Structure 1
Amino acid sequence: MRYFIELAYNGTAYFGWQRQPNVISVQEVLEEKLQIALQNYTAVVGAGRTDAGVHAKQLFAHFDCKESLNETDFCFKMNTLLPKDIAISQLFEVPGEAHARFDATARSYEYIIDTQKNPFTNQGSYFVKRTLDIKKMQEAADILLDYTDFESFSKVKTDVFTFDCSIMHASWKQVDHQLIFSIKANRFLRNMVRAIVGTLLEVGSGKREPKAMHQIIQSKNRSNAGASAPARGLYLTQVDYPAHIFTNHGK
């Protein structure tokens, strides 16, 4: 039987989602605790990768298990085993061919910026001292929807076959002393959101005009975009799937 789990994590202590040699990852910790819970090594496939230090408010992963699992018992046991910065909220039995990564139709991220020093949010946001023009940042963000090739915002020497992404939404909003950038697309390149945010911050601080976004994207050159914003302000907030994936669960 194939199961999806819905989880969330604070990525501060981890070198991203994906298992890697010599560093700790969310996937590694999850598989280690799953082995204890199921008394058998069980590989886990995530909906996507998050970079080192990036957080996830919602991420799905799948694994296979021969036995039938009770959602309440499984989630309780796993959350007892997992460290305090990783939590599982739901377990779903899904069709055998369902795939957490390949069946995902869209992913949404938020980037949080504090405009006022706050000791309670400093580990989960990026504090920017300078004044930012949110209207100009939104004007530049709107330009993203006119393009599909985002090589200029991709980590160099990355192992992808295409730089094409369909961005469905990109917007800024202000909530008290925080600026929140929301973006949704069918897929994202490595480092893409942080590179976009870093570039938009340069627009907001007056270093670039909003229309410069056209030239940056058309150049297909990472060096023409801004520096990447720090990982601590970035959150994967939602992963979308076709309704039939969760038919048996009523989600």
Structure 2
Amino acid sequence: MRYFLELAYSGTAYHGWQKQPNAVSVQEKIEKVLSRLLQKNIEIVGAGRTDAGVHAKQLFAHFDTEVSIGEEEMLYKMNSMLPGDIAINRIFRVKAEVHARFDALSRSYEYWITQQKDPFLINQAWYLKQELDVEKMNEAAQILKNYRNFKCFSKSRTDVKTYNCTIESAEWKKTGELLVFHITADRFLRNMVRAIVGTLLEIGQGKISVENLHEIIASEDRGMAGASVPAQGLFLTRIKYPKIEVD
């Protein structure tokens, strides 16, 4: 039987989602708890990877087990055993062929910027005091939807079959003291959102023009795009699926 976990975490204390040697990851923490509760080595497959320091308001992962699970009881036990910065919000059974990564229809991210120093946002937002032309940043963000190949925003030496992504929406919004970038696409390349944000910020600071974005994307050259912004302001916020639950 295959089950999905819907979870959230603060990524500050972790070296990203993915399990790796000599570093603490979110995946490792969850697998240890599941394996202990089910008394069998359990491996989970996440809908995607987040880098060190990146957060997730919503992420899904699947695992397989031969025994039927009392979902509410398992939810309570897992949350009791996991550290406070990881929460399991839901456990539910899905069809056996459903895959947390490959069946996702879209993913959404936010990037948080604060232009006022706030000690309570030190691990959740990037403090950037420079003046920004948000109107130009939003004008440039709309250009992204006209392209498919985003190699210029991908981390170098990434082993992928294609650099094509379909961006559904991209927009900056002011929320209280925060300036938040919202972006949704069918898939994302490694480091893509942080590189896009860095490039849009250069436009907002007047370092490059809105029209320069066409040249940057067409170049397929990571060196042409802006620097990646720090990890702590990035949140994976939503993953959309077709109907996957067992009735």
Normalising TM by the smaller chain, what interval? over 0.9
2:222 matched residue in structure 1: 222
- Which structure 1 residue ranges, 5 or more long, are not aligned? none
2-side partners of 1:106 and 1:120: how far apart?
31
- Helix, strand or coil at the partner of 1:120: helix
C-alpha distance in structure 1 between counterparts of 2:58 and 2:245, whole Å: 16
Q: Sequence identity of aligned pairs in percent?
A: 57
| Paired residues of 2:8 and 2:58 also in contact (CA < 8 A) | yes
2-structure distance, mates of 1:41, 1:247: 24
Distance 2:41 2:65 in 1: 10
| 1:166-197, Cα deviation, whole Å (9 max, x unpaired) | 00000010012110000000000000000000
- Tell me the CA shift for residue 247 of structure 1: 4.7
TM-score (norm 1): 0.97
> For 1:75-154, what aligned pairs fall within 5 Å after superposition?
75-154=75-154
How many angstroms does 1:122 deviate by? 1.6
* 8 Å CA contact retained: 2:154, 2:190: yes
**Which residue pairs with 1:246 in the alignment?**
245
Alignment of 1:1-251 (within 5 A): 1-243=1-243, 245-248=244-247
Greater mean alpha carbon deviation, residues 226-235 or residues 20-29: 20-29
How far 1:161 moved relative to its partner? 0.8
Superposed displacement of residue 246, structure 1? 2.1
SS of 1:61 mapped into structure 2: strand
Q: Output the TM-score relative to the length of structure 2.
A: 0.98
Runs of 4+ deviating beyond 2 Å: none
Supply the AA of the counterpart residue of 2:78: M
Aligned length: 247
> SS where residue 53 of structure 1 aligns?
coil
Letter of the structure 1 residue corresponding to residue 72 of structure 2: T
Deviations 1:84-135 (A, max 9, x none): 1100000110001111001001000000000111111121000101111110
Deviation digits for residues 48-106 of structure 1 (CA, Å, limit 9, x no counterpart): 11111110000000001111112210111000110111000001100011110010010
- Residues 93 and 246, structure 2, Cα contact 8 Å, conserved in 1: no
In structure 2, what is the Cα distance between the partners aligned to 1:15 and 1:149?
28
Question: How far is 1:227 from its partner?
Answer: 0.4
| Runs of 5+ unmatched residues, structure 2 | none
Paired residues of 2:61 and 2:100 also in contact (CA < 8 A): yes
CA deviation vs aligned residue, 1:193-245 (integer Å, no higher than 9, x gap): 000001111111111111111000000000000000100000000001012x0
